[in-house]
Chains A and B, each alone.
Chain A
Amino acid sequence: MTNPALLTVTDLKTSFLTERGPVTAVDGVPFTVRRGETLGIVGESGCGKSVTADSIMRLLDEKDASYSGSVELNGRDLLSLPETEMRRARGSELAMIAQDSMSSLNPVFTIGNQVIEAITVHQKMSQKDAYRLAISLLERTGVPEPEHRMTQYPHELSGGLRQRILIAMALSGNPKLLIADEPTTALDVTTQAQILTLIRALQSSSDMASVLITHDLGVVAEMCDRVIVMYLGQVVEEADVDALFDSPQHPYTRGLLASIPEIDGDRSQPLNVIAGRVPTLHDVPTGCRFAERCDFATDKCRDSAPPLEDVTLETVDMLAGDATPRKVRCWNWRHIPMNTSATTAKAIR
C-alpha cells in the first residue's frame, strides 16, 4: 500500500447559511484516497456524507455554502480553483454518479443524446466519433444492444440499465477519481450486485480510484479497501475495511455493526438499535457529538470534544499485524470492552 495519494482532503469544512444561522454540515473532515483504491464513507442519514461528496465536486451553490480546508487532487487544490477551471476538472479528472439513478437522466433526450453530450463537454470530436465512443462506452458498461439503446428515452429503460448508462457517462472523460453517492440504493439486490461488480471491474481495468458513499455496510465489506465512518459532520473512525469489521473502536461504529441483523439470529430478540437520533446541526453538543447516544459516555465526553487520534500498534496490541494507520475520535476507546459487536460484524462478512 505505498501508492501515492491521489486525493487528499484536509480539514474540509462546509457551512451553509440558513435562516436559523450558519450550520456546518461537514466539520473538519480529513481523508486520503490513493490511486486505484476504494474508500467507503458510511454513516446515518444527515451525517454529511453527500455534502462531503458535493464539496469535493464543488457542486453546492456558493452563494449559500462556503468551504474551508483543502481538497487536493494530484497536488492541486480544487477549492481554490476558479469556477471555469473547476468545471474543466469535473467529468474529466473526477466524476460523480449521483444518488438517484432513476432521475439522473434527462427525460426529454435520448440516451444517445446524453452520452454524446457527456463526451463532447470535454473532448472536441466529430459527432460520428463521439457516437462510436458512446457505443464503446455502453459496451464497456455491459449495456446490451447499445445501438438500440442510443435511440431510446430514459423512461424506456430499467433502473439497472440507467445506472450502467450513468456509469458510462461518468467514465467518458477517463476520470482518475469516481465518486459514487449511494450508487445502488434505488436498485434491487441482484442488480445491485451486478452494478457493484461492474464498478469494481472497471476500476481494476483503469486504475481509477473511487469514493463510495453508502449506508449499506454489506456494500462496504464487499467493495472498499478503507472506510471512514462519519457522524454529524465529523469523521469518528477511519480504518482498513478488515480492521473496521474485526475490531471497531468507536462506540458508534460498533453500534452500526451491531445493528445489522443476523440471518440465523434469535428472532425473538428485538433488533439492535442505536438509541436516539442524530441531533440537528443547529444545536451541536459541546462535548463528544455522539455522547448523548453512547452507552459508554462519561462526564468528560459530555464536557469536551475528543480529537481524532491515531490508534497505534502499542496501544492495541491485540491488533498486531494491522499495519495501516487507524484513527478514532473517542476519549474512551481504550477502555471499552472489545467483544460487544465483533461477532455480529463477522457474521455478515
Chain B
Amino acid sequence: MTSFAPRSPLFPGMTADRRSLQLRRIRNNSQVMTGGSILLLILLIALIGPLLTPSGPYETDTPNRLLPPSTTNWFGTDNFGRDLFARVVSGSHVSLMVGFSVALITSGLGLVIGLVAAYFKTADRILMRILDGFMAFPAILLAIAIMAALGVQTENVIVALSLVFTPYVARVVRSSALVVKEQTYIESLRAQGASAYRVLWVNIAPNVLSPLLIQATFIFADSIITEAALSFLGAGVPPPEPSWGNILFDGKTLIFSAWWMTVFPGLTIMLVVLGINFLGDGLRDLLDPRHKSIRK
C-alpha cells in the first residue's frame, strides 16, 4: 500500500495531535473560560483564605461586633464579633464540599439508574415511577423532610440533596441512553453476540457521559443554592459551623443595621453559581455542537 500523507499539510492545524485541538476549542469558548476562571478564583480563595484572615471563623470578639467592612475585617464582623471573611471562607469549604459530593453521588446513582431504566423495560417501569414520586415534591420541601427524618448534620445534607437530585440526573441519562440504544451500532453490537453488560456499560455508557457531565455541573450549582436555603431555614448545616446559608440566616435580623452580613455571603453564592452555570453552558456548547448557541 503506497503511503499518502495521512493528514494534509494544507491544514497545519490537523497535523497537530487531537489534544491540542481540544485545548484550542476550550480556550476559544468564552463561557468555559469565564466560568472556569471564577471557579478557580473561588477555589484559590477557599484554599489560601484562612491565611489572610485576622482571626478564625469561630473566634468571638464581643467589643468589635458588627463592624462595617474595613482593611482588617474585609467583610466586616458579625453580631458576635467574628470576622465575616473568615466565616465566608470557612463556609465555602462546607458549601463547595456539599455541592461537589452531591454532584458526584447523583452522577453515579443517576448513571446506574438511568442506564438500567433505559435498557430493561420492566426495571424502567418500576424505577421511573419511584423517581416520579420523588420529583412530585418540590426539591426544597423534600430536602427538609429528609433532613427532619435524618437529623440536622452536614453529612445528612449531602444524603438529602443526593436523594433529591438523583431523579433529575437519572432522567437525563435515561433519555440520552434511549437515543443511543436505538442506534445501529448497538444493534450491530448485539448481532456480534455482545452481552447486555457489554452493550450497556461498555458501549452505551460512554455515549451518555457528556450530557451527564453537563447535568452534573448544574446539580453542583443547584445543590449549593439548596444547601444555602436549607441552612438558612435551619434544616441544613448546624451552627456554629459556618455555611453560606446560615451566615445569611445570622444576618437576616440585622439586615438594616449590618448590611454586610447578608450582602457578602449572598454575593459569594451568586458568584459561584454564576461561575458554575457558565461552565456548564460552555461545556454543553463544547460537547454537543448541535445545540450551539448563536454567537458572532
- Interface positions of A (Cβ within 8 A of B): 57, 59, 61, 63, 87-92, 95-100, 103-109, 117-118, 121-122, 144-145, 148, 166, 169-170, 172-173
Contacts and interface: CB of A to CB of B under 8 A. Distances in A.
Given A98-B187, A106-B185, A122 B193 contact: yes
Given A63-B121, A106-B189, 15 more contacts: A61-B121, A89-B193, A91-B191, A91-B194, A95-B191, A98-B187, A98-B188, A99-B184, A109-B206, A117-B194, A145-B1, A169-B192, A170-B192, A173-B192, A173-B193
A190 B67 CA distance: 82
A106 B193 contact: no
15 contacts: A87-B194, A88-B193, A90-B193, A91-B191, A95-B192, A96-B188, A97-B188, A98-B184, A103-B185, A106-B189, A107-B185, A117-B198, A148-B6, A172-B192, A173-B192
B195 interface: yes
A98 B183 CA distance: 11
Contact of A104 (B184, B195, B207): B184
Of the candidates B6, B187, B188, B203, the one having the most CB atoms from chain A within 10 angstroms of its own CB is B188
A67 B189 CA distance: 22
Majority SS at the chain B contact face: helix
Contact of B187 (A59, A117, A122, A169): A59
Nearest to B189: A106
Contacts of A117: 194, 198, 202
A57 B185 contact: no
Given A103-B183, A103-B185, A104-B188, A91 B207 contact: no
Please provide the 10 A-B residue pairs with the shortest distance between their CB atoms, ordered closest to farther.
A91-B193, A90-B193, A91-B192, A96-B191, A104-B184, A103-B184, A108-B206, A106-B185, A100-B184, A104-B188
Interface in B160-212: 183-185, 187-195, 198, 202-203, 206-207
Contact of A87 (B1, B121, B193): B193
A136 to B, nearest CB: 14
Contacts of A172: 192
Interface in B18-41: none
A94 to B, nearest CB: 9
A118 B190 CA distance: 10
A148 B195 CA distance: 29
B207 A87 contact: no
Contact of B188 (A89, A122, A166): A166
B71 interface: no
A169 B188 CA distance: 10
A169 B1 CA distance: 21
Contacts of A121: 192-194, 198
Contacts of B8: none
A117 B197 CA distance: 13
Nearest to A122: B193
B187 to A, nearest CB: 5
Contacts of A106: 185, 189, 203, 207
Contacts of A96: 188, 191
Nearest to B121: A63
A171 B53 CA distance: 69
Contacts of A107: 185, 207
Contacts of A91: 191-194
A105 B185 contact: yes
Contacts of A97: 188
Contacts of B257: none
B70 interface: no
Nearest to B205: A108
B3 interface: yes
A99 to B, nearest CB: 7
A118 B194 CA distance: 8
Contact of A98 (B191, B203, B206): B191
Contacts of B3: 145
Contacts of B183: 103
A122 B194 CA distance: 9
B6 A57 contact: no
A87 B195 contact: yes
A31 to B, nearest CB: 20
A91 B187 CA distance: 12
B237 to A, nearest CB: 39
Interface in B249-283: none
A90 B187 CA distance: 12
Contacts of B194: 87, 91, 117, 121
A246 to B, nearest CB: 35
Contacts of A104: 184-185, 187-188
Contacts of A88: 193
Nearest to A53: B191
A59 B190 contact: yes
B132 to A, nearest CB: 21
A38 B192 CA distance: 21
A87 B187 CA distance: 13
B214 to A, nearest CB: 16
B129 to A, nearest CB: 18
Contacts of A57: 191
Contacts of A95: 191-192
A169 B195 CA distance: 16
A34 to B, nearest CB: 22
B191 A59 contact: yes
Contacts of A122: 192-193
Nearest to A59: B190
Nearest to B191: A96
Contacts of B192: 90-91, 95, 118, 121-122, 169-170, 172-173
